[in-house]
């Protein structure tokens, strides 16, 4: 058996432009959980046992190793380190059973970590989220350069995590670099 390494969406090096650092994060395994009809409460109980709390509307639960955020009524995205949880969807399915439909999402998204003092300025150029009002753990789905993305305000004040469509990872990175250059 070959010793294969999973490839990231882009594999680009971390870039620092002015005060802003843009890093592709290939270390996040993702899976979505969608409660089946009438099973939302059962899903919430299972998620609570995994995450410690159920992500509320527009919120993330930043928990280790699994974290999660609310996507829509009865729908959540769960993330965990790729190194230890590459089979995250299978792990969740085993716990949720028929209460939810679980879909592997690692192959669908590219994850960028954007940090730096000018991050709010960059965010204001890029998308329609009230970044200066957001607290740690706030999540909003939005549009960045016509791409549907999730913007997650992480624990550090100057850190956002952006989940965007993996097939358009290059376009999203271009948008981030352009905005970072503009505010640098």
Partner 1 sequence: MIIDHPLLGPRDSAEFTYMGDARLIERPSPDSPDAAAAFYDYAYLRDNPAGWHRELWFHEAGDRSWLVVTRNTVTHEISKVEFASDVARAKGRSK
Q: Write down the residue that tokens 């679980």 correspond to.
A: 102
For 112, other C-beta atoms within 10 Å of its C-beta total 21
**8-state DSSP, 59:** B
Nearest CB to partner 1, comparing residues 95 and 166 = 166
Rounded least distance, CB 165 to partner 1, Å = 13
Cα–Cα dist 69/1, whole Å:
36
Rounded least distance, CB 77 to partner 1, Å = 12
Q: For binding to partner 1 (CB under 8 A), which residues are involved?
A: 57-58, 71-73, 75, 128, 141-143, 148
For 1, other C-beta atoms within 10 Å of its C-beta total 3
The beta strand positions in 116-170, using DSSP E, are 139-144, 147-153, 159-165
Please say whether the dihedral angle defined by the alpha carbons of residues 115, 116, 120 and 123, taken in this order, is positive or negative: negative
Nearest CB to partner 1, comparing residues 103 and 142 = 142
Rounded least distance, CB 81 to partner 1, Å = 27
Nearest CB to partner 1, comparing residues 15 and 75 = 75
Rounded least distance, CB 65 to partner 1, Å = 26
Nearest CB to partner 1, comparing residues 21 and 140 = 140
């Amino acid at each position: 058996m070959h010793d294969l390494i999973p490839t990231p969406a882009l594999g680009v090096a971390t870039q620092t432009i002015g005060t802003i650092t843009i890093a592709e994060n290939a270390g996040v395994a993702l899976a979505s959980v969608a409660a089946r009809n009438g099973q939302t409460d059962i899903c919430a109980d299972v998620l609570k046992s995994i995450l410690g709390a159920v992500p509320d509307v527009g919120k993330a639960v930043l928990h280790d190793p699994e974290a999660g955020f609310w996507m829509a009524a009865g729908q959540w995205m769960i993330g965990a380190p790729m190194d230890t949880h590459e089979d995250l969807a299978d792990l969740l399915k085993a716990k949720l059973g028929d209460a939810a439909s679980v879909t592997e999402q690692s192959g669908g998204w590219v994850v960028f970590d954007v940090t730096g003092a000018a991050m709010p300025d960059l965010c204001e150029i890029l998308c329609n989220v009230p970044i200066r009002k957001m607290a740690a753990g706030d999540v909003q789905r939005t549009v960045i350069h016509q791409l549907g993305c999730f913007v997650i305000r992480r624990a550090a004040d100057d850190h956002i995590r952006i989940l965007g469509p993996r097939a358009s990872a290059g376009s999203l990175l271009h948008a981030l670099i352009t905005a970072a250059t503009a505010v640098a």
